[in-house]
Amino acid sequence: MIPSKENMELANLVGDWLKNEVAPVCGEYDEKNEFPEKLYEQMTELGLNIMCTPEEYGGLDLSAVAQTLIAEQLGRYEVGLGSAVGANASATHLMNQFGSPEQKKIFFDILVNGGWAAFCLTEPNAGSDAGSVTTTAEESEDGYVINGTKCFITNGGIAGVYLVFASMDRSLGVKGISCFLVERDREGISIGKHENKMGIRLSNTTEVVLDHVKVPKDHLIGLQGKGYKMAMATLCESRVNVGAMGTGLAARALDEAIAYAKTRVQFKRPIADLAVIQNMLADIAMQVEASRQLVYHTAELIDAKLPFAKYSSMSKCFGGDTAMKVALDALQVLGGYGYMKEYPMEKLVRDAKILQIYEGTNQIQRVVIAKEILR
């Protein structure tokens, strides 16, 4: 795929901001584990929180291809910020597919006014086994009462609105799970533990605690008991952007390795002249381009409204694996210097790992891919 001029200009606009405003300061934020409030304000000014919000609600309504190009830029410079944008997009995708006009107005009004959304599915005992959620929603006279604790929630502490998955009948397993629109200012919502993460430290990741949170009946999204299916459909669409971030991170690692190899002199010549280094760089370059084309193809399928589930899992899995392998191989090119914090490689390695874990682990993606090809 050759991206359109319009899409490339948009991605380059975001890339320039990342290069000029984020790259110089992200290391310091990472080191201090400090939330970069100013950068999040700038992201909303760029419209990164309303990329897939429909135009009729004040959003940008970008194509899947445009979103993947932006995600690639985010991965290249700062996966933590990319994770915030991705989690917000996941919630937006679900609302686009399953929300009522009234629910969409509530949800999108928060976003277009500078807010963020969070996708509240994961719990301490419900990670890959998302059907094991213990958060409950009990029907009352005027709505529902939600109780439970969600963990590892990206944007959990900064979101203005949550999409919360809760069981209305645990004996039904996944068929008992429903999804609810929950505004941040509802009584009973509190923010629990702020996670101290290995990587993506510029993202906000917290527990979200719901203690007898009351929501009206019209805040049930879609049909009762269909929450799990909605969650899986949403993640299927959003996974391609994880692959795009992995591609961007891997491309950055390649560039860093090339630049170092050209200037590092050993045995009286640049190490880029050594066949072993050339072979490593060639292998990395092939992996990066393969990941990029798989991601672009998946985005084209989404925009064309053609079946894409298999390719979405492939994009996420291959992109995440590529990011991790390439980051490690590129660090090896830098040798001891790559291990030091004064070089960007160690942060790229730390950030890359999450791409194999969230939005469904890469082991789960292989299960999905196998089911698709064995039908």
Instruction: Write the DSSP string, 275-304.
Output: HHHHHHHHHHHHHHHHHHHHHHHHHHHHHT
- Which bin fits 213, alpha (ψ -120 to 50), beta or left (φ > 0)? beta
Give the Å distances, CA to CA, from 24 to 33, 44, 105. 16, 20, 37
Give the residue ranges of DSSP H helices in 122-226.
none
And the tokens for 145?
Answer: 């009462």
Pairing of strands 161-167, 177-183: antiparallel
**d(C-alpha 73, C-alpha 16), whole Å:** 9
Spatial CA neighbour of 148 closest among 205, 208, 192: 208
C-beta of residue 118 within 8 angstroms of C-beta of residue 208: yes
**d(C-alpha 233, C-alpha 316), whole Å:** 15
C-beta of residue 199 within 8 angstroms of C-beta of residue 276: no
SS3 content of the chain, % helix, strand, coil (to 5): 60, 15, 25
**d(C-alpha 325, C-alpha 69), whole Å:** 21
Active-site hit among 123, 342, 359, 372: 359
Residue 332: which residues within 8 A CB-CB, separation 6 or more? 280, 338
Instruction: Write the DSSP string, 140-151.
Output: ETTEEEEEEEEE
Residue 63: which residues within 8 A CB-CB, separation 6 or more? 7, 299, 303
359 assigned to active site:
yes
And the tokens for 63?
Answer: 């194509």
User: Does residue 91 sit in helix, strand or coil?
Assistant: helix
Spatial CA neighbour of 261 closest among 240, 235, 279, 234: 279
Residue 276: which residues within 8 A CB-CB, separation 6 or more? none
Enumerate the active-site residues.
359
